[in-house]
Structure 1
Amino acid sequence: MPNVVIFFLSTDVKYDHGFQMSFARENWHKISLFIVIIVLLWQGVWHFGPFKTIVYPKHSSFDDWCQLPDTNSHVPSNDNLSPSLDMTTEVSRKQQVERLSAAVRCPTESFDDNGDVDVDPRWSTFDKFHEVLKDLFPLIHDRAKLDKVNRYGLVFTLKGTSENLKPIMFTAHQDVYIWGRGSSDCKNNLIGIMSAVEKLLEQDWKPRRTVLLAFGFDEETGGVRGAAEIAKELERTWGRDGIAMILDEGGMGLTTVGNYVYARPAVAEKGYMDAVLTLEVPGGHSSRPPPHSGIGIMAEMIVGLEGNPFQPVLTRSNPLRGYLECQAKYTPGELEPWLRKALERDNDGKDIAERLADERGLSIRFSMQTSQAVDIIRGGDKVNALPQTIEATVNYRIAPHDSLDIVKNKITTLLKPIAQKHNIKIQPFRTGNDSQPTTNAISSKPQDSYQGTLYLKSLNDLSPSPISPTGLQNNIWRTFSATIRQVFEDTKSLAGKKIIPVGDIMQGNTDTIQYWNLTRNIYRFSPAREGTRFGVHAVDEHIDMMAHLEGMRVYYDVIRNFDAAGI
């Protein structure tokens, strides 16, 4: 309860004369207003701490934290479809082994230097993959409308009977890191989605709600030819915010803590930027060097950046906060003793974040902090020649509370005094392929001992994603999260455990970066238990087949539940 100061007010008002009546009435209005303010303070609209004048209002009461959806209200009782549990039989397991093996055997790598689809012959392997999918899923190819976008992007449309229901969309990517990969990133998702739809069509199912399957082909290299082109087509067809929900790969899967299991679909992704620092300085012979060579100056700049990292901040909107509240409510033994009180106090999040990051380490720090990594540096041609051009590339993954402009401004601010020290002028940030010279260089103070220019450029600029809703007041989240509970509380592997669906934040990116215009409800969730997906982008990538079957159940029941819901 907030600390409250109670004032006892006493008035001695005489009513003998009109003047006194007017004076009393005027003062009574002031007194009434003052009493209202005191009452509001007492009710906690503002919170007065012992050492602070005003702090933020409480985020919510502890009882309101991490509310779970009801599972029973989301099970269709009259769709005459077989339960998803039927998809975990031995017959189904063998079928999935065959389907996933066939998909993985087909090479579908995407390369950083791929050209356009009509020019680069390496894309032709996707033609074979499409034939494999046609053989594996004949009913989908027979009953759904298939549009090939930019030649290799696949969009299947199963038209619903109700025009009033927005479509739901499932997406995965066809491409892999190298040939033979994809069993857990993410041909398993693609095969699982298509298997769920094929199973529904085997039962002569006719959807009320349109179902879209959208599969890009270059997610591993940014999705600019696949998902980006698919997004344009879908927006032309369905309009901005024309889709009810998108479900893609990602998230943290399911993590077991005692009798509770946290299902953690990602509801947000960090932003992205590569900062390229190019320093141009006079050359010369190494026998007559200046006090600092170009490499030395660049090294000082890198030290300046690394010595001033971004700070963690746990804002109220950061999905991590919701996860911590769930921990406080359901598995308090996993939570630091001080943290629940700090969350209830709900200050600006900086003190909480710093302490939490120090205690839990890197596993949680970069869910709250913009990361900075100096990954590439080039400079110098000969040991007896002073380097004239030195280039460093710094990667940033931008936290939700930061922005591209904040990152660029901080880089410039940190580098400016170092540039001034060496009489280097700074050319402000330009973006991507913008190679036009800038005329408004940031001048450094005159100094005779050195001259040069530092050019700043950003590549692959991506703002942090919108944060998808997770409250039970949102019908989409309520139905989706209830389905997760419904499926996994009905599995042998998690028998007797309670599933806690809660949003998370991804530090990497998926094809959903292209789909922000289509819906505010984007969930990134590869539905697999912890310890069942192995070797992503590494040796012997594989997945536990029972986990794969359980993931299929999620896709199957999401379709059924959304088809029955009038949202």
Structure 2
Amino acid sequence: MDFLTDYVKKAVSKTNEKKRKRQIIISCIVGIILVGLISINLFNPKDKFPDYTSDCSSYHKMPLLFNKSYDKILHDIDYKLEVVNKLSGAIKIPTVVYDSYGQPDLNTSLADDKEYSEFQKFHDYLETEFPLVHKHLKREIVNKVGLVYTWTPEVETDAKPLLLMAHQDVVPVEPSTLDKWSYPPFEGHYDDLTGKIYGRGALDTKLFLIAQFSTVELLLKEKYELKKPLILAYGFDEEKGGDFGAKFIADFLLDRYGKDGIEALFDEGEGIVQLDESTFIASPGVAEMGYCDVYIELDTPGGHSSAPNHWDIETTGIGIISEINHFITLDQFETSVSSNNPVLSFLQCNAKFNPESLDPLVLRAIRKNSLSKFERAIQKNDLRFTFKTTQSMDVIKGGIKSNAMPENVVDVINHRIDIQSSVNETVLHDLKHVIDAAEKYNLGVTVDWRNTGEMEVLKNSTELGTFNIRVVGALEPVSTIPYDDFYELVASTVVSVYNDPLFAGDSGKDVEVLFEGTMSPGNTDSVYYALNKLVNGRVYRFSGNLVEAANAHTVDEWCTDKSLLTSHAFIYSMIVNFNEAY
């Protein structure tokens, strides 16, 4: 029995020893895996946020070296009413453009143009309200409706000009919504109690245009001696893509100044948001997503609906287009976070100074310095739309009678294109599903890659019909601006404007102004200047105004007098600082 007991003890001992060895081996393997995972997380540079070296609170105010009448912009009540009335008057002129508007008729006067006649009234209004601008600046008309003004210094210089932009046109007002407006959309009503100016274009973007004209008019009145050229440029069809306005003006200025011939430009864009009583954040658009509309048009035989017999299954052109839309919907573009996307820096600024504005998962990923965690955090957050190409099926037309099969169906898919992608990559994504349907239903395919009228045949037409694809309004993404001395000049100018006593509040605290670029998901006229490489990347979609405005493109569009005048003050300071300190 003792022998058996000793044997059992030895056996148990050996078993325990094996268990210990096995546990040690497993622990070592787990440890190696954990170390590996930690190493990947710590030392994988691709998973880290970009170094946030240019802290958004690091900019300081600078002295305004010419400020003869600057103070009255923000503090003179009579002057405020004068500028407000100019904007109100501009709103009264309905410079509306519809998507159907095309090339202006060069064989008639602007006043007699069937589509653009209101713009003649607007030109006349500007000439009446800003006489010094029209006396001292050279005005040139581009493509009949576009406006270019040039202020040339009296002393000859080789310095590159500064370009200020806006657009003259506004979107239409939906007639069925007229009774929902607090005031008629083209009345330009000013409520002096709230400071609100109502009307179509109050925000988008006659505010910026009037602020620019008011600034130049004031500087001319003060006899300011300009040292570097200044250009004002105003397209007339930005709301439908800028094909006949900004595109023509950009080509016009490219012929005159050449590539990199303009120092920088400012166009409509984001402004300054007040976070609390003494903190403001400016967020200029410093990059821009691309754009295209993909028109998928399908021509098929018609016939009586009682016998939908063109294919083996009962369907029509509408059914085929619907099937394509279904598969494109399932084939979403992936969210892809790249370190050169300026939205990351903007979010890092907010994580540091305005953390409550961020989704908790997004904030945690930023604080963990992990792009992979951030990418996961934004999958169900609207932030994802600035890190991917989007798709939105916005228009579908087809059929004229409930008992007649449609012979023509049109489908329009709108895309905003990620800065890592391209127009062609986006179009090929849609085209893949069109070709699949063409193979399935024995249909032809042609493509007009840039809406020029030149069709490329990808698959010959058949007796059952053909797809005709058009790519309309194609604009490539615009990468971020250089973070250079000019960027610091803009930041310091903003800090200076918003350190005015007007913004100090009742607490008497020092004002803190944060400045960090972000990306514009929408497109502006500036894209044509960027793609022409007129400005070496310095494209600022930024109007410098305090964001007290709302309802662009919808009922009760409005801005405040303070928003208008802060834009005016920023432009004044920017022109002076560009001339005196850059």
Contact 1:171 1:249 in 2 (8 A): yes
Select 1:158's aligned residue among 140, 151, 159.
151
Distance in 1, matches of 2:41 and 2:225, equals 64
Amino acid aligned to 2:121:
K
What residue is the counterpart of 2:259 in the other structure? 240
Which amino acid in structure 1 is aligned with residue 63 of structure 2? V
What is the CA–CA distance in structure 1 between the aligned matches of 2:257 and 2:415, rounded to whole Å? Answer: 34
Partner residue, 1:32: none
Decide whether aligned partners of structure 1 residues 526 and 385 sit closer, same or farther in structure 2, where only a CA change above 3 A counts.
Answer: same
User: 2:345 pairs with 317, 322, 326, which one?
Assistant: 322
Aligned counterpart for 1:110 among listed residues 74, 82, 97: 97
CA contact (8 A) 1:143 1:158 kept: yes
Q: Secondary structure at the match of 2:96?
A: coil
Structure 1 contact 252–266 (Cα < 8 Å) conserved: no
Aligned match of 1:276 in 290, 295, 313?
Answer: 295
TM superposition shift of 1:207: 0.8
Tell me if structure 2 keeps the 8 A contact 1:252–1:504.
no
Q: Which residue of 2 aligns with 1:24?
A: none
Aligned-residue offset at 1:323: 0.7
SS of structure 1 residue aligned to 2:295: strand
Q: What percent identity do the matched residue pairs reach?
A: 29
- Post-superposition offset of 1:98: 2.0
Aligned-partner Cα distance in 1 for 2:307–2:452: 36
2:81 to 94, 115, 118: 94
Task: Show CA shifts across 1:12-65 (max 9, x none).
Answer: xxxxxxxxxxxxxxxxxxxxxxxxxxxxxxxxxxx9834799552755445x25
Equivalent position amino acid for 1:463 in 2: E
Deviation at 1:134, TM superposition (A): 1.9
Letter in 2 for 1:296: G
User: Separation in 1 of the partners of 2:55 and 2:41?
Assistant: 30
Note if contact 2:268-2:542 (Cα within 8 Å) is conserved in structure 1.
yes
Amino acid at match of 2:574: V
Output one character per residue of 1:431-451: Cα deviation in whole Å (capped at 9) or x when no partner.
24455554442999xxxxx95
Q: Is the 8 A contact 2:297 2:408 kept in 1?
A: yes
Give, in whole Å, the separation in 1 of the partners of 2:57 and 2:84.
Answer: 34
Of residues 471, 475, 499, the one that matches 2:485 is 475
2:116 alignment partner, one of 123, 127, 131: 123
Q: Number of residue pairs matched? A: 504
Bigger Cα displacement from structure 2, 506-515 vs 329-338: 329-338
- CA distance, structure 1, for counterparts of residue 445 and residue 342 of structure 2: 37
Specify the SS of the correspondent of 1:240: coil
Partner of 1:397: 416
- Structure 1 spans left out of the alignment, 5+ residues: 1-46, 445-449
Question: How many angstroms apart in 2 are the aligned matches of 1:87 and 1:433?
Answer: 47
Alignment root-mean-square deviation, CA? 3.0
Distance 2:501 2:447 in 1: 53
For the Cα contact (< 8 Å) 1:260–1:498, is it kept in 2? yes
CA distance in 2: counterparts of 1:555 and 1:315, whole angstroms: 33
Whether 2:525 is the aligned partner of 1:515: answer: no
Instruction: Give 1:217 shift.
Output: 2.1
Q: 1:241 to 1:84 in 2, by over 3 A?
A: farther
Offset, 1:188: 1.6
Q: What residue number does 2:396 align with?
A: 377
Distance (whole Å) between structure 2 residues aligned to residue 333 and residue 549 of structure 1: 29
> Equivalent residue for 2:30?
none
Return closer, same or farther for 1:186/1:237 CA change in 2, 3 Å cut-off: same
Matches of 1:69 and 1:209 in 2, distance apart?
Answer: 28
Matches of residues 209-224 of structure 1 in structure 2 within 5 Å? 209-224=228-243
**Post-superposition shift, 1:231?**
1.5
Q: Closer, same or farther in 2 for the Cα pair 1:442/1:102, shift >3 Å?
A: same
Is structure 2 residue 150 aligned with structure 1 residue 172? no
Please list the CA deviations of residues 224-249 of structure 1 after superposition, one character each: whole Å capped at 9, or x if unmatched.
22222222221222221111110111
Shift of 1:507: 1.9
1:527 corresponding residue in structure 2: 544
Aligned partner of 2:512 in structure 1 is 498
Give 3-state SS (helix, strand or coil) of 2:350's partner: helix
Counterpart of 1:391, as a letter, is: V
> How far apart in 1 are the matches of 2:50 and 2:98?
48
Partner residue of 1:66? 55
Structure 1, 332-341 or 284-293: larger mean CA deviation: 332-341
Q: Is the 8 A contact 2:59 2:491 kept in 1?
A: no
8 Å contact kept, 1:367–1:507 = yes
**Partner of 1:525: helix, strand, or coil?**
strand
Q: Return the letter of the residue paired with 2:489.
A: T
Matched, 1:49 2:39: yes
What one-letter code is carried by the residue in structure 2 that aligns with 1:171?
M
Normalising by structure 1, what TM-score?
Answer: 0.81
1:301 corresponds to which of 311, 321, 324: 324
Paired position in structure 1 for 2:68: 81
CA contact (8 A) 2:297 2:468 kept: yes
Amino acid in structure 2 at the alignment position of 1:166 = K
Aligned-partner Cα distance in 1 for 2:56–2:556: 39
Given candidates 218, 223, 228, the residue that maps to 2:247 is 228
Provide the rounded CA distance (Å) in 1 between the counterparts of 2:379 and 2:48: 23
1:443-482 paired onto structure 2 within 5 Å: 452-469=465-482, 471=483, 474-482=484-492
Structure 2's unaligned 5+ residue stretches are 1-36, 173-184, 187-199
Q: Contact conserved, 1:88 with 1:549, CA < 8 A, in 2?
A: no
Instruction: Read off the aligned partner of 2:321 and give its amino acid letter.
Output: M
TM-fit CA distance, 1:311: 2.1
- Distance change (3 Å), C-alpha of 1:86 and 1:453: closer
CA distance 1:316–1:257, shift in 2 (3 Å): farther
Aligned partners of 2:376 and 2:432: how far apart in 1? 23
Q: CA deviation at 1:356?
A: 1.7
**Cα distance, 1:344–1:412 mapped onto 2, change above 3 Å:** farther
